[in-house]
């Protein structure tokens, strides 16, 4: 068995030598081979990047319309106490930009509002979210839920901070979770606020 294996290895070596000789005596073939290899790698990468962008667009399109829900936010004084406000949202997607507006009900007729808009670069790796460039670090699909995970560097109350935003889309609604991590908080992220929206209940009348 050992002798047969050695003979097989010797045959492989001889073939490799002949192939190298063929390439070195055919410079044009080397250029064509290198170009073809580069094109295949570029096409493969572009396909996946385009799929990521198109997947994000698909999710934005799914959440167009009117929504009801609430916004939870963590008190910055202790990073523990959580408050909640009823909220309504109107969301639209025009094929390249996701735009949404939110109205918060503080009670007794006291209302406030907010707005967000997002675009994605051609490679599907960056998202311009309200003028801030975020890295798209992952798109996680599990069950009927798709999580678009974003991260960037920023500041909270002048503290350098790591910021994370997760947009979760399901068959019945969507959630936007904002998290922050700073050196004084420790290694874990703190949920700063979370918007949770569902389709308005239909009237029985």
- Model confidence pLDDT, tens digit, residues 135-145: 999 999 999 99
C-alpha count within 13 angstroms, C-beta hemisphere, residue 66: 4
Taking the complete model, does pTM exceed 0.85, yes or no? no
The answer to whether residue 204 scores a pLDDT higher than 90 is: no
Structure confidence at residue 23 (pLDDT):
54
Residue 188 has pLDDT above 80, yes or no: yes
Instruction: Give me the residue spans of the domains in the chain.
Output: 1-205
CA dihedral over 62, 63, 69, 71, signed as positive or negative: positive
In tens, the pLDDT along 48-93 reads: 444 799 999 999 999 999 999 999 999 999 999 999 999 999 999 9
Residue 181 has pLDDT above 60, yes or no: yes
Is residue 177 a contact partner of residue 166, using CB atoms and an 8 Å limit?
Answer: yes
pLDDT at 149: 98
The mean per-residue pLDDT over the stretch 7-20 comes to 58
d(CA 88, CA 103): 5
Answer yes or no: is pLDDT of 31 > 70. Answer: no
Residue 165's nearest CA partner among 146, 150, 180, 153 is 150
Rg (CA), the chain: 26
Q: How far apart are CA 136 and CA 158, in angstroms?
A: 24
Stretch 158-182: mean pLDDT: 97
CATH no. of 1-205: 2.40.128.20
């Amino acid at each position: 068995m050992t002798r047969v294996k050695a003979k097989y290895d010797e045959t492989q070596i001889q073939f490799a030598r002949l192939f190298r000789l063929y390439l070195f005596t055919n410079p044009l073939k080397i250029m064509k081979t290198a170009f073809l290899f580069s094109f295949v790698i570029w096409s493969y990468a572009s396909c996946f990047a385009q799929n990521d962008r198109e997947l994000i667009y698909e999710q934005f399109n799914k959440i167009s319309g009117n929504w009801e829900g609430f916004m939870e936010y963590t008190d910055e004084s202790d990073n523990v106490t959580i408050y909640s406000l009823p909220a309504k949202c109107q969301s639209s997607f025009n094929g390249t930009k996701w735009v949404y507006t939110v109205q918060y009900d503080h009670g007794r007729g006291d209302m406030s509002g907010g707005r967000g808009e997002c675009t994605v670069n051609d490679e599907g790796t960056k998202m311009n979210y309200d003028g801030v460039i975020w890295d798209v670090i992952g798109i996680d699909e599990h069950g009927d839920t798709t999580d678009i995970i974003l991260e960037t560097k920023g500041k909270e109350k002048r503290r350098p901070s790591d910021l994370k935003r997760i947009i979760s889309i399901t068959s019945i609604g969507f959630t936007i979770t904002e998290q922050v991590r700073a050196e004084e908080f420790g290694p874990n992220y703190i949920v700063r606020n979370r918007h949770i929206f569902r389709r308005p209940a239909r009237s029985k009348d």
